[in-house]
């Protein structure tokens, strides 16, 4: 599979260059993913070490929902609360509790990227399945707590995955009914077993919404930030984890997992022998870096200048109509000074889907026309840049 991805990545690189997605802030975030921190949460969640919950020292002996796993839910709740988030305990059924926290975006507060994992289990310990994914979500929440992002982020931990994706389906269905704009979901389930030490892992995807673009985006992040992992894209991917709840509700979603189809799957899966001692912590560290780096890149770190400053300093104004659009669309760019102007349309993954202008333009109003009828419906970002500034415009294609 590997040669195919090299070709795909070089092709992408040649056409659009990596500058769209490379970001020093993202690199810093990837470097902040800490192995000691990951080990700490993994040991706590898989019952190796005592934890303090509700002021009491105790041990999370198991996370099996039918045996009662409220202690694990409480631990996750208090850990995220400790980072300063307002956390929601979503009691959707007598035995079912999702736990999630939201970080509001500075520029697009109503558009969400999500990182998630199921915390429930089928036996004692179950470190790889899925204390590993749960730990990576907590590590993301820890690192992101003092940073700002343009898009809103949901850190979510699901209950009752093991008995039919119940918790995640409840959330995804509710989000769909409420027209919540979830642009992409990264689900992690079993990300710490690499028995043959080849660093291979799988991205399970589908053609639902732009899940396949999201999978490609993960491959790019792995390459741009020089992570040692070897991705393989599986399409159609498995529906045996929580990302499938988002597919059923028409959201873009992917699963990151060790070699599930590839033949190097954890042989201690769903037994009490699935403990931290059998895991590859360096592989787990890299898988966590990749998923957290992808989330950071999608949500766009915004710790340079404020949104107000950005618009006040801009030497150009960008408008687009009609919005929403489903055919001929007009763009107007007002330039305060003549100069080279670039205008392009990006999809919600930040990939360029249309080149509109790259030419010398005069001072004043410049008009362009393009057609959106062949585009997949969804949210797009129109980006204009001149030598003196830039502007973005969010366009809804129907």
Residues that bind Zn ion (CB under 5 A): 129-130, 189
Residue with Cβ nearer Zn ion (28 or 264): 264
Q: Where are the beta strands (DSSP E) in 19-166?
A: 51-53, 56-58, 87-93, 96-103, 108-118, 151-158
33/128 Cα distance (integer angstroms): 18
> Count of CB atoms within 10 A of residue 337's CB?
12
Is the Cβ of residue 117 or residue 395 nearer to Zn ion in the bound state? Answer: 117
187 touches 255 (CB < 8 A) = yes
Closer of 129 and 194 to Zn ion (Cβ) = 129
Which residue lies nearer to Zn ion by CB, 103 or 243? Answer: 243
Q: Is 19 helix (H, G, I), strand (E, B) or coil?
A: helix
CB of 160 to Zn ion, least distance (A): 11
What distances in angstroms separate CA 186 from CA 1, 92, 243, one per listed residue?
22, 22, 8
State the nearest-atom distance from the C-beta of 59 to Zn ion, in Å: 21
Nearer to Zn ion, 118 or 289 (CB): 118
Q: CA-to-CA distance for 326 and 282, rounded, in angstroms? A: 47
Q: How far is the CB of 161 from Zn ion (least distance, A)?
A: 6
Q: What angle do CA 338, 342, 346 make, to 5 degrees?
A: 150
In the complex with Zn ion, the residue whose CB is nearer, 130 or 344, is 130
Taking the complex as a whole, how short is the minimal distance between the CB of residue 74 and Zn ion, in angstroms? 21
DSSP annotation of 228 reads -
* Least distance between Zn ion and beta carbon 151 (Å): 27
Minimal distance, residue 126 CB to Zn ion, in Å: 8
Report CA dihedral (396, 110, 348, 199) to the nearest 10 degrees: -160
Per-residue b or e along 260-280, where b marks 16 or more CB atoms closer than 10 Å to that residue's CB:
bebebebebbeeebbbbebbb
Which is closer to Zn ion, CB of 130 or CB of 372?
130
Q: What per-residue string of b and e applies to 10-42 under the rule 16 or more CB within 10 Å gives b?
A: eebeeebeeebbebebbbebbebbeeebbbebb
> Which is nearest to 193 in space by CA: 294, 64, 293, 282?
282
Burial string for 190-222 (b: 16+ CB within 10 Å, else e) reads bbbbbeeeebbbbbbbbebbbbbbbbbbbbbbb
Indicate the DSSP class of residue 376: P
| CA gap 62, 68 in Å, rounded | 9
Q: Toward Zn ion, which CB reaches closer, 130 or 385?
A: 130
CB of 291 to Zn ion, least distance (A): 15
DSSP bridge pairs for 319: 332
| Pairing mode of beta strands 108-118, 181-188 | parallel
| Token code pair at residue 192 | 């710490």
Cβ proximity to Zn ion: between 12 and 158 the closer is 158
Q: Which of residues 189 and 302 has its CB atom nearest to Zn ion in the complex?
A: 189
**Min. distance of Cβ 269 from Zn ion in angstroms?**
8
- Least distance (Å) from Zn ion to the CB of residue 257? 9
CB of 189 to Zn ion, least distance (A): 4
Residue 353 to residue 178: CA distance in whole angstroms = 28
Nearer to Zn ion, 85 or 193 (CB): 193
Q: Could you tell me the smallest distance in angstroms from the CB atom of residue 396 to Zn ion? A: 35
């Amino acid at each position: 599979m590997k040669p195919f991805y090299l070709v795909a990545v070089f092709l992408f690189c040649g056409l659009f260059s990596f500058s769209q997605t490379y970001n020093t802030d993202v690199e810093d975030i990837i470097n902040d993913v800490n192995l000691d921190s990951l080990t700490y949460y993994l040991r706590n969640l898989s019952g190796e070490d005592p934890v303090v919950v509700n002021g009491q020292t105790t041990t999370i002996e198991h996370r099996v929902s039918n045996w009662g796993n409220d202690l694990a839910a409480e631990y996750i709740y208090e850990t995220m609360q400790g980072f300063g988030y307002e956390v929601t305990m979503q009691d959707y059924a007598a035995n079912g509790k999702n736990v999630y926290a939201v970080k509001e975006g500075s520029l697009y507060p109503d558009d969400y990227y999500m990182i998630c994992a199921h915390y429930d289990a089928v036996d004692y310990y179950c470190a790889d399945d899925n204390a590993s994914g749960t730990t990576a979500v907590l590590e993301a929440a820890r690192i992101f707590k003092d940073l700002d992002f343009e898009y809103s982020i949901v850190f979510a931990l699901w209950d009752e995955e093991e008995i039919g994706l119940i918790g995640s389906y409840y959330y995804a269905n509710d989000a769909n009914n409420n027209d919540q704009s979830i642009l992409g979901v990264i689900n992690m389930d079993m990300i710490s077993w690499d028995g043959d030490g080849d660093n291979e892992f799988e991205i399970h995807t589908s053609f639902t919404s732009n899940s396949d673009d999201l999978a490609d985006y993960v491959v790019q992040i792995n390459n741009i930030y020089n992570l040692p992992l070897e991705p393989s894209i599986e399409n159609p991917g498995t529906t045996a984890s929580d990302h499938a709840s988002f597919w059923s509700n028409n959201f873009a979603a992917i699963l990151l997992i060790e070699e599930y189809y590839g033949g190097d799957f954890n042989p201690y899966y769903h037994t009490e022998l699935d403990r931290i001692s059998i895991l590859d912590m360096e592989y787990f560290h890299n898988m966590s870096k990749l998923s957290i780096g992808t989330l950071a890149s999608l949500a766009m770190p915004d710790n340079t200048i404020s949104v107000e400053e950005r618009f006040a300093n801009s030497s150009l104004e960008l408008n687009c109509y009609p919005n929403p659009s489903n055919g001929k669309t007009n763009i107007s760019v007002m330039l305060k000074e003549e100069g080279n102007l670039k205008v392009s349309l990006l999809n919600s993954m930040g990939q360029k889907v249309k080149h509109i202008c790259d030419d010398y333009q005069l001072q004043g109003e410049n008009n362009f026309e393009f057609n959106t009828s062949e585009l997949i419906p969804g949210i797009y970002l129109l980006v204009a840049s001149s030598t003196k500034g830039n502007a973005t415009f969010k366009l809804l294609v129907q």
